[in-house]
Structure 1
Amino acid sequence: MPPAPKVPMAKAFAVDDSTDVLEFKYSYPAAAAGVPDIVASLTDDMKTNKASALKAAKSDQASAKESGFPFHTHSYQTQWTAKAATPRLLGLLAESYFYTGGAHGMTGYKTLLWDKVAKREVSIDDMTISRNAFATVITPAFCKRLNDARAEKRGAPVVSADSEFDRCVDPLRQTIVPISKDGKTVDQLLIVIGPYEAGPYAEGSYEIALPVDRALLSTIKPEWRDAFAKG
């Protein structure tokens, strides 16, 4: 009997469709390209954002021409990366950069979590027993690690919470993506904080990684615990 034909592996996707009006780039990894439903979702996301960004850029270009002001090329760039690729879960993180002609651009983040067994998109809320329990467990460690990261960037410890950029931020309002180092289970949660959330624009983004310990694991629903490290 002849051997079964090999199924070609999915390839990473990247498009660079830049003009003098809009610099547009969009990419996602092979791990995402191998799931048709994810490809469909990201393709829709790409088309929607390109159309919106191009419309805004053309409108700005027309206004600049009418007013006699110089037009600065707009930019929309999104790069998806795989942070967790385990037998149960695919965790994707998108970093997007937007520039619309102002003093500087902005960076934003979002996630896509895919349950490989159920073949559907899920969220952190789907995996945890309650938002309150999850927040109660992760917030103290998150706030400490955030202040440590602030101190490293600023060259001085955070000694009070009197100013906006010295206070802790709500971790559940940030972008949270699971991380797997061994490709078997989720061993960390990465909390990504965009510019202006935890510090001034010059400090950029913050990435706070929390290990999956016993306390964190206790907030995970029983049906999801096998997908996480044992703490």
Structure 2
Amino acid sequence: MKNALPFLAAALLLSTVPSAAQAPVEQAESEPQNGFSYSYPEERLEALPQLAEQMAVFADSAERDFATLVAESEDAMPDSPALANLTHSEDWGIAGETETLLSLAGTIYEYAGGAHGNTEFASLLWDVRNDRMITLTQLFTDRYSGLAEIDGAYCANLQAMQREHGLQDGEWGDCPLLHDMTVVPVAVRDGAPFTTIRVLVPPYAAGPFSLGPFEVDVPVSDSLIALVKPEFRSSFASGS
């Protein structure tokens, strides 16, 4: 499923992503069944049939993958107590919505055996007017300049967070590549423009597992807005 997403990281804190912009991801409720759960705001997506269909496809794929994990684990370790705790939980919510763009963010928690489970993050950007998925880079007139504009602030902010934990040197001293992380445009509320670009860094990517994930906010700048294609530009406003 990861490869099917437009931009995804190994892609929210262990169960949800609190928003520094005060725009919590709106979660649809679900009940886990046999260790598997998948939720997304179905009612909100009714006006976008292609998106609703895509989310259902993702759900079916995730459930099949989990069934395969369970079957393979039962074959490999039939007497392991870990079998009772195998888990795949995936929760999607809306991080912001304008007349032209819908930003979705997902939390993926999986326990596949071993000492502990792990959390990954996912994001999905939707062109509302054309009811189609787009990538982050498709927002920009020049994708390299757009990513570079985000990357500079992301890396500086993350390294400041790493230094606070004494991680500035050695194994954890570098920034994980932006294109390997989950990038989520965030608005303070639905209908408002996106003022934050949030980079979600999963456990192990920028520090030891004990520190959990990092949530790195990059305020939308005027120079970034200037790089957004005209048809999407009204969906962004300066966050600085």
1:59 aligns with 2:72: yes
Alignment partner of 1:200 out of 195, 208, 232? 208
Residue-pair matches, total = 210
Cα pair 2:32 2:89 within 8 Å, conserved = no
1:108 aligns with 2:120: yes
Q: Which amino acid aligns with 1:142?
A: Y
Alignment of 1:52-201 (within 5 A): 52-65=65-78, 68-72=79-83, 73-152=85-164, 154=165, 156=166, 160=168, 162-182=169-189, 183-201=191-209
Cα pair 2:28 2:91 within 8 Å, conserved = no
Q: Distance in 2 between matches of 1:218 and 1:170?
A: 24
Q: Distance in 2 between matches of 1:166 and 1:210?
A: 20
Task: Map Cα deviations across residues 48-87 of structure 1 (whole Å, 9 max, x no partner).
Answer: 111221122123123323xx44343310000101101112
TM-score (norm 2): 0.79
Using the aligned pairs only, state the percent identity.
26
What runs of 5+ residues in structure 1 fail to find an aligned partner?
Answer: 1-11
Q: Distance in 1 between matches of 2:45 and 2:92?
A: 9
1:18 aligns with 2:51: no
Q: Distance in 1 between matches of 2:176 and 2:81?
A: 39
Cα pair 1:24 1:77 within 8 Å, conserved = yes
Q: In the alignment, what sits opposite 1:4?
A: none
Q: Distance in 2 between matches of 1:143 and 1:70?
A: 41
Cα pair 2:48 2:128 within 8 Å, conserved = no
TM-score (norm 1): 0.82
Q: Which amino acid aligns with 1:120?
A: R
